[in-house]
Amino acid sequence: MIWGLRIIYHTVGEAVFHCPACGGDRRCRRLAGRRFITVFFIPVIPLTKAGEVVQCATCRTRYPVDVLRLPTAAQMQTALPAGMRAAATAMLRSGPPSPLARQNALAAIRGAGAAGYSEADLTADAGLSHDAIVGALGQVARQLTPDAREWFLAEVVRIGLADGPLSDNERNTAQDIAAQLGMTPAQARGVITMTEEGAAA
């Protein structure tokens, strides 16, 4: 065959992503393609663009660019403690100062993976902005299963329950956190009620 049609790719960027074929974090190249008319397999006439793909540098598998939206293992390891820190900060702000609530917050954050988290860190996190809290909750929400979201919310509610029943402000904060996690109002009420009942038992 003298002539033909072929897509030629060139690199437009590099990144780290979670490769489904490799099952782990890998370096990748983002490739942009263009169709060419070839003569004796040599591209000679450029035609239309063919879109972009992501190619794993290890296994060479190509994926649609949507694969870059999947969190890497490194991102997942940092998102859970960061999300819990944000949620604990929000709950502590919504209630009166309480040493017991702070103890519960420390336990929840350490249980989420931040083993070295300290009282000083908790005090520093009091300065987190609203946008930082919302951003951290959004990151962790994309990684949690429905059951894990319920566990997460229950941990936050226990912070508010440390010094007695939830105040209206603490309850509203718990419902706001649930919404940021992608939970429905009914799911949030169920988890809050069950956690309250468990604390009262």
- For a pLDDT cut of 90, what percent of the chain falls above it? 65
**Confidence at 184, pLDDT banded by 50, 70, 90:** very high
Question: For residue 167, what are the contacts with CB-CB under 8 A and spacing of at least 6?
Answer: 94, 95, 160
Q: Are 10 and 94 part of one and the same domain?
A: no
3-state SS, residue 54: strand
Question: In one letter, which amino acid is 96?
Answer: P
Per-residue pLDDT reduced to its tens digit, 127-156: 999 999 999 999 899 888 889 999 999 999
| Amino acid 132: pLDDT | 95
Per-residue pLDDT reduced to its tens digit, 23-44: 888 999 999 988 888 887 777 7
| Amino acid 1: pLDDT | 62
Q: Are 183 and 88 part of one and the same domain?
A: yes
The range of the structural domain enclosing residue 43 comes to 3-69
| Amino acid 77: pLDDT | 79
Say whether pLDDT at 45 is over 80: no
Q: Which of 29, 49, 69 is the last residue of a domain?
A: 69
The predicted model gives 45-59 an average pLDDT of 89
**CB-based burial of residue 113 (10 Å sphere; 0-12 exposed, 13-18 middle, 19+ buried)?**
middle
3-state SS, residue 132: helix
Q: Are 36 and 78 part of one and the same domain?
A: no
The predicted model gives 36-59 an average pLDDT of 86
Q: Are 17 and 39 part of one and the same domain?
A: yes
Beta pairing partners, 43 = 38
